[in-house]
Chain A
Amino acid sequence: MAITMMKPVKVVPGNVLRYSFTERLVHWAAALSYIYLLLSGLAFWTPWMWWVAMMLGGGPVCRAVHPWMGLVFTISVIYMLRLWLPDMRITKTDLEWKKTIRAYVRNEEEEMHPVQAERGFARFAPVDRFNLGQKYLFWVMFWGGITLFLTGMVLWFSEYLPWSLRFLRLLSIFLHPVAFLITLAGFIIHVYMGTAVVRGGFSSVIRGEVSEGWARYHHRLWFDRITGASAAKK
């Protein structure tokens, strides 16, 4: 496929490629469609947010566009599964990392003296391409997206659903917002972590590159793997 071949050939010296063009494209297809779904969905969720529907062209327009954006989002997360499944499997090292998640959340790694650390950051289990939090986000968005898609299909074609299948309609109007709330929790944390906390994360998903230091610090196993450093070190 042509699009997967469009990898940037040049990386700024001192940087490594973290996200290919395809990965960034899929990420932003999911992100932008999710933001539209979130805004129009919030308008349907509560009258306090109805003004958002007004800004997006009115209630009927939102209702008409919302399912199509849902399709874009669903296709995006399915494509993400294809792209990232090997990277998203939860490993034993992730469970090791999980033990120190409290310190991670409190940014306590910065207080450590690197000399005391066996591998520099040994208090934390080394992280591969994605850390456990990122993996959780992915699976929340994936299964949430599938639930939203299935229940959304029922709600999309409301006029075709016979009375005898009323339980499907009731199930959908309940599960759709439940899945929405769960994905929103993931979304809030993801946006916050990716922009405010982990500096360099946002630009990496825009231009695809991170510095070697960033890669080594946040994703040591991945960095070692892509640079072939692992064997040399041990």
Chain B
Amino acid sequence: MIGKVLDIRAMSATSTAPPGIRSAPVLAKLIDTSSCIGCKACEVACQEWNDLPPETTVQHGTYQTLPDTTPNFWNLIKFNEHETSDGGFQWLFRKDQCMHCADPGCLKACPAPGAIVQYNNGIVDFQQDNCIGCGYCIAGCPFNVPKMSKQTKKVYKCTLCVDRVSVGLEPACIKACPTSCLVFGSKDVLLQKAQSRVTQLKAAGFSEAGIYDPPGVGGTGVVTILAYGNNPGAYGLPKDPSISWIVELWKSPLKWIGNLAIIGGVLGTFVHYLRFGPKHVPQSALTDQTEAGRRGEQ
């Protein structure tokens, strides 16, 4: 997205400052899972707008037609089957897609310059022309979002319809949602809206209702209202997601210790040579033992 360069706030594997000079309000998508009816209109809209090839559905005994998002299926409604305390049945829908973290683990883990960018409005986007297909982003992501194509060896995921948003349109899924459980806009405004919905749900008997905007990844650009906010696991969401400490350890202390060790090693051998130089085979070694002694006396 060449036209978006001035909006780039963060860029993977880039040692110098990112090119973004514009500022913009942080945008978000609000998903109210309590009013989702599981119609999958958002899935269709996503496939259609992004012009992605259809996925072969998998029948595994539930209404969910795919087990997981794929390289060409970026938005999947998860039909989590939940048994209530009184033995009743409930679907806990969840819109599985990229969460657009404020502190994106994928971007942190990526070794290819500019393959993952974050715009000033918070959208995290993969630039497949810069992607080298290493799959490190998959390790960086706490939500299992990036999917690598076996054909192209590149990773793909939801772009939050950055191409639509940058020309003032809302994402395709939002446009298609018939119950308005999907809303798009400024994150500040949406969080207020989410708060009033949570109050409403609590009044309706869902005492554990809450907002899923995990602070472990700096908050997300996809904010979810959960009727059972104390149990994100029931929706298939990690309870307290964060970038794995292994990724942090690798990208921060190990990188700097390693860089210093490499430079120190190269310089060290150089200094050693300046100080001690090469080893010479002495004359005495050129002949045999007895002669060595004799020559040594010379």
Which A residues have a C-beta under 8 Å from some C-beta of B?
A: 43-48, 50, 59-60, 62-64, 105-107, 109-110, 113-115, 119-121, 155, 158-159, 161, 163, 166, 169-171, 173-174, 177-178, 181, 184-185, 188-189, 192, 196-200, 211-214, 216-218, 229, 233
Report chain A residues within 8 Å CB of B292. 114, 120
Q: Quote the shortest CB–CB distance from B137 to chain A (angstroms).
A: 10
A115→B148 contact, CB < 8 A: no
B87 within 8 A of A: no
8 Å CB contact of B247 from A173, A197, A199, A211: A173
Report chain B residues within 8 Å CB of A229. 288
Given A115-B296, A173-B246, A173-B250, verify A197-B279 contact (CB < 8 Å).
yes
A114→B296 contact, CB < 8 A: yes
Q: Quote the shortest CB–CB distance from B18 to chain A (angstroms).
A: 12
Q: Quote the shortest CB–CB distance from A232 to chain B (angstroms).
A: 10
Q: Which 7 A-B pairs have the closest CB atoms?
A: A158-B135, A217-B285, A114-B296, A213-B286, A59-B132, A159-B148, A192-B269
Report chain A residues within 8 Å CB of B266. 188
9 A-B residue pairs with CB within 8 Å? A106-B276, A120-B285, A121-B285, A155-B135, A173-B139, A174-B250, A188-B265, A198-B278, A213-B281
8 Å CB contact of B293 from A47, A107, A115, A185: A115
Q: Quote the shortest CB–CB distance from A220 to chain B (angstroms).
A: 9
B284 within 8 A of A: yes
A199→B280 contact, CB < 8 A: yes
Complex: chain B residue closest to A192, CB-CB: B269
Which among B50-58, B105-113, B116-124, B197-205 touches the partner chain? Answer: B105-113
Chain B: residues with Cβ within 8 Å of the partner, total of 57
A184→B139 contact, CB < 8 A: no
- Interfacial residues of chain B within 233-286, with CB under 8 A of chain A in the complex: 244, 246-247, 249-250, 254-255, 258-259, 261-262, 265-266, 269, 272-273, 276-282, 284-286
Q: Quote the shortest CB–CB distance from A170 to chain B (angstroms).
A: 4
Complex: chain B residue closest to A114, CB-CB: B296
A50→B13 contact, CB < 8 A: yes
B132→A62 contact, CB < 8 A: yes
Given A63-B132, A158-B134, A159-B135, verify A113-B296 contact (CB < 8 Å).
yes
Report chain B residues within 8 Å CB of A233. 289
Given A115-B296, A174-B254, verify A120-B278 contact (CB < 8 Å).
no
Q: What's the Cα separation between A188 and B230 when bound, in Å?
A: 54
Q: What's the Cα separation between A164 and B65 when bound, in Å?
A: 20
Q: Quote the shortest CB–CB distance from B226 to chain A (angstroms).
A: 21
8 Å CB contact of A184 from B131, B133, B262, B269: B262
B133→A63 contact, CB < 8 A: yes
B190 within 8 A of A: no
Q: What's the Cα separation between A67 and B286 when bound, in Å?
A: 46
B86 within 8 A of A: no
Q: Quote the shortest CB–CB distance from B96 to chain A (angstroms).
A: 12
Report chain A residues within 8 Å CB of B179. none
Q: What's the Cα separation between A79 and B113 when bound, in Å?
A: 37
Q: What's the Cα separation between A233 and B289 when bound, in Å?
A: 9
B278→A158 contact, CB < 8 A: no
A48→B15 contact, CB < 8 A: yes
Given A44-B111, A185-B261, verify A169-B130 contact (CB < 8 Å).
no
Given A159-B150, A173-B136, A188-B265, verify A47-B289 contact (CB < 8 Å).
no
Q: What's the Cα separation between A155 and B144 when bound, in Å?
A: 16
Report chain A residues within 8 Å CB of B109. 173
Complex: chain A residue closest to B12, CB-CB: A47
B90 within 8 A of A: no
Given A106-B276, A217-B282, A233-B289, verify A177-B258 contact (CB < 8 Å).
yes
Q: What's the Cα separation between A217 and B244 when bound, in Å?
A: 53
Complex: chain A residue closest to B150, CB-CB: A159
